[in-house]
Amino acid sequence: AQTVTQSQPEMSVQEAETVTLSCTYDTSESDYYLFWYKQPPSRQMILVIRQEAYKQQNATENRFSVNFQKAAKSFSLKISDSQLGDAAMYFCAYRSAQGAQKLVFGQGTRLTINP
């Protein structure tokens, strides 16, 4: 079974600074997808960024980028120019490329932005 581990329960960063959230995963599969989701206090899960395992190039979405290290099974999220609206729980998630839409989530990292 696949597992996802987020070793940082909480992180904080000054507004406008850069922060990196860590995520490692365990799988025996070679084809899969990785995601970072954001859950603000409203509880609405929002997709931040996704990475296909077969792509070597790291995904970027505006201020959000990932460092995907397939051999090390590592998938970190970098948030540049942090904004107050970035404050939320961030979840790393894994989904197999085979079959159903089952996401395996990490335990989450609570990110606080200090003004």
Partner 1 sequence: KAGVTQTPRYLIKTRGQQVTLSCSPISGHRSVSWYQQTPGQGLQFLFEYFSETQRNKGNFPGRFSGRQFSNSRSEMNVSTLELGDSALYLCASSLLGTGTYEQYFGPGTRLTVT
Binding positions for partner 1, rule: CB under 8 A: 33, 37, 42-47, 50, 52, 91, 97, 99-108
Q: Could you tell me the smallest distance in angstroms from the CB atom of residue 2 to partner 1?
A: 11
Query: Cα(first)–Cα(last) distance of the chain, in Å?
Result: 41
Q: Could you tell me the smallest distance in angstroms from the CB atom of residue 40 to partner 1?
A: 11
Q: Could you tell me the smallest distance in angstroms from the CB atom of residue 15 to partner 1?
A: 27
Site of tokens 């997709």: 47
- Tell me whether residue 28 or residue 101 sits nearer to partner 1 (CB atom): 101
